[in-house]
Structure 1
C-alpha cells in the first residue's frame, strides 16, 4: 500500500468517526475531528460558519431536533496530497425526530477539505449543498445517488 493509499484509508476512518459521533450525538468527539479554525458552508444560514464552536453549534441544533439520528455518506472519493486532501460524495441525515416522527432525510452534496496538522489529518473545510431548480429558485430534495 502506498503512502497516499494509507492516507486515504485514514481519511475514510476520519469520516467514519464523524458519522459515529453524529449518531452518538457527541459534540466533544466531533470537536476532535475538525480544525479549530474550520470553515463550514453548511445548509443552515449564514453563508459560512467559521471556527469549531460555530460548526458544533450546527450539530448541537441538529441533535436537539432528533431523538435518534444517523448520518450516511455514499460514493466518497478522495484526492490525497502530502499535506492536503479533499473528498466529495453524498450525505444524508435521517432518523427519528423529538416528536416521534421518522424522517428519511434528503441527500445533499458534500465536500471535505483536510490538512495534515502536526502529523495528523484535520477537517478544515466542509461544504454541504442542495441542488436547486433554476426556474423556481427552490431546492430539489428528492434526488438520490
Structure 2
C-alpha cells in the first residue's frame, strides 16, 4: 500500500467528516461514487445512489443544529483500483430542540473504487452489535 494512495483515501473520508461538521451536502457529494450503495443504520436496508445517500444525510441535518463526527482506528487495505477500510464512528451534536446528543459508537466499513484517477466511496456500511436474545441493538459500547 503506497503512502500516496492511503493519504488520498484518508482525505476522501475526511471530506465526509468535514461535510458533516459543516452540514454541507455539496462537500458530502464529492467523496462518494455516483452509484454508491449504503447500508446505513436507518431504514431502508439499503440506500442506492448518491441522491439517496445525500437524502439520508439531509435527514440528519434536519434533526441536528450542530453536528460532530469522530472516527477512530481507521484501517485500510488497498489493491489496484479497489480498497476497503473499517473504523469506529460516532455522530454527535446538539439537536434542534437544544438537547446535546452524545451519540453512539458504530462500526463503519468503507468500500472504495478508483474512478477516473480519484478514490470514491462506492459502499459504506454502518452497524451496531445486537443482543441475540432480545434482538435489540447494543448502543452503549465504546471502542
| Bin of the TM-score, shorter chain as denominator length | over 0.9
- Tell me, yes or no, if structure 1 residue 126 matches structure 2 residue 130: no
| 8 Å contact from structure 1 (residues 4, 81) kept in 2 | no
Gaps of 5+ in 2: none
**Structure 1 match to 2:112:** 114
Partner of 2:49: 51
- 1:9 aligned counterpart, secondary structure: helix
Aligned-pair Cα RMSD in Å: 0.8
What are the within-5 Å matches in structure 2 for residues 1-145 of structure 1? 4-145=2-143
> How far did 1:23 drift?
0.3
C-alpha separation in 2, matches of 1:103 and 1:130: 17
Q: Distance in 2 between matches of 1:99 and 1:69?
A: 13
Question: What is the deviation of 1:6?
Answer: 1.2
Q: How many residues align?
A: 143
User: What's the TM-score, normalizing by structure 1?
Assistant: 0.97
* TM-score, scaled to structure 2: 0.98
Point out where structure 1 has 5 or more consecutive residues left out of the alignment: none
| Equivalent position SS for 1:35 | strand
- Structure 1 stretches of 4+ with a deviation exceeding 6 A read none
Distance 1:10 1:125 in 2: 17
Counterparts of 1:101 and 1:14 in 2: how far apart (Å)?
30
1:38-57 alpha-carbon deviations (Å, 9 max, x no partner): 00000000100000000000
Summarize deviations over 1:79-101 as a string: whole Å, max 9, x none: 01110000001000000000000
